[in-house]
């Protein structure tokens, strides 16, 4: 490995890590009050910035929206050319800037203050125009950029990103934002699926293999083969679950038996199979499969057979 590349990489990581660690000193009464102001607002949190800080602002907005705090992004340059109209009376405005002295921000800040909205400055210079004009300050000062010229926003934008995450997590706590709430905002993602997808959403897409206890060995083999789930339920005439036969059960039976002519399903089945209700969360079915080291589960309700859930169903949906 090239020594200078190796050392540059390590130095960059170290400087950015320091910028994050340094934020601990800035969790002060102003930060606490800022969290309370956003939490108590009847409006939204409108976040603005210019340059790299604007990109950070967009990420923070996305995080806040997905964790229960309504937020909007407003580019500082666009704000002074018409977009300021998106700011409503009850909104809180947060402006992100390293220097706090950008020309666009110097124009924007007085306009926000004239509107009467609470203004939070996330800023890396506490003596700056933005810091002195803001109602509350989130300090993201860094000692040095990771850039070798100490110019390109690197450590500073990392600090801004982390401060945004800290703000979001504190608001989640105050809002009592739960895993179920998270699932509402992420219904298409794997994390959301783990919170709302149930057995009934999966097993109904599968074949429904079942035989009577009196079924012949041939009928059992055909049922397992045709339904392609590696298993069949054994049910009585009233569709109550009697047992289960897996392809493994068949192999073990064939290894032990010389005379298979008169073998029936009742001779092979495993009694008291693991069953789950249709409303069980898919992620909980995974725990059952892992606990018993099996690949299929019978879905039943009031002892009535409904279908088979296979571990492949969980893989397909991204639960595993």
The tens digit of pLDDT for each residue in 45-102 reads: 999 999 999 999 999 999 999 888 999 999 999 998 888 999 999 999 999 999 999 9
pTM (2 decimals)? 0.67
CA distance 221 to 231: 9
Tell me: pLDDT of 189 over 80: no
Asked if 102 contacts 131 with a C-beta cutoff of 8 angstroms, the reply is no
The answer to whether 8 is annotated as binding is no
All domains of the chain in start order, with CATH: 3-177 (3.40.50.10490), 200-316 (3.10.580.10)
CA distance 22 to 269: 64
The answer to whether 69 is annotated as binding is no
Predicted confidence band at 173 (pLDDT cuts at 50, 70, 90)? very high
pLDDT tens sequence across 93-137: 999 999 999 999 999 999 999 999 999 999 999 999 999 999 999
Question: Which pLDDT score is estimated for 266?
Answer: 94
Pairing of strands 136-139, 92-97: unpaired
Tell me: pLDDT of 191 over 70: no
Q: What is the distance, to the nearest Å, from the Cα of residue 88 to the centroid of all Cα atoms in its chain?
A: 30
| Residue that has been written with the tokens 């950029």 in this structure | 145
pLDDT > 90 in the chain, percent: 78
The answer to whether 302 is annotated as binding is no
Question: Which pLDDT score is estimated for 316?
Answer: 87
Asked if 246 contacts 230 with a C-beta cutoff of 8 angstroms, the reply is yes
Host H or E run for residue 100 = none
Tell me: pLDDT of 1 over 60: no
pLDDT tens sequence across 256-293: 877 788 899 999 999 999 999 999 998 899 999 999 99
The answer to whether 214 is annotated as binding is yes
């Amino acid at each position: 490995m090239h020594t200078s590349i190796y050392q540059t990489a390590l130095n960059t990581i170290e400087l950015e890590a320091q910028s994050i660690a340094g934020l601990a000193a800035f969790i002060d009464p102003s930060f606490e009050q800022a969290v309370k102001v956003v939490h108590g607002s009847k409006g939204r949190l409108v976040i603005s910035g210019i340059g790299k800080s604007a990109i950070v602002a967009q990420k923070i907005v996305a995080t806040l929206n997905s964790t229960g705090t309504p937020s909007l992004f407003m580019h500082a340059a666009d704000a002074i050319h018409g977009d300021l109209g998106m700011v409503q009376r009850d909104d809180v405005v947060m402006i992100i800037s390293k220097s706090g002295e950008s020309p666009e921000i110097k124009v924007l800040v007085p306009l926000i203050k004239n509107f009467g909205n609470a203004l939070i400055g996330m800023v890396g210079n506490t003596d700056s125009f933005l810091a002195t004009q803001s109602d509350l300050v989130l300090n993201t000062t860094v000692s040095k950029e990771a850039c070798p010229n100490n110019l390109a926003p690197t450590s500073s934008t990392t600090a801004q990103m982390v401060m945004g995450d800290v703000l979001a997590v504190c608001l989640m706590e105050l809002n009592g934002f739960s895993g179920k709430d998270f699932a509402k905002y992420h219904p298409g993602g794997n994390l959301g699926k783990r919170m709302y997808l149930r057995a009934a959403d999966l097993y109904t897409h599968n074949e429904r293999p079942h035989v009577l206890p009196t079924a012949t060995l041939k009928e059992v083999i055909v049922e397992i083969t045709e339904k392609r789930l590696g298993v069949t339920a054994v049910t009585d005439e009233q569709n109550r679950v009697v047992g289960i036969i897996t392809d493994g059960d068949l192999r073990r039976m064939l290894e032990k038996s010389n005379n298979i002519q008169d073998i029936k399903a009742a001779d092979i089945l495993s009694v008291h199979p693991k069953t789950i209700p249709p409303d069980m969360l898919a992620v909980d079915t995974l725990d059952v499969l892992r606990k018993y080291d099996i690949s299929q589960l019978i879905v039943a309700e009031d002892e009535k057979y409904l279908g088979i859930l296979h571990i492949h169903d969980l893989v397909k949906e991204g639960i595993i």
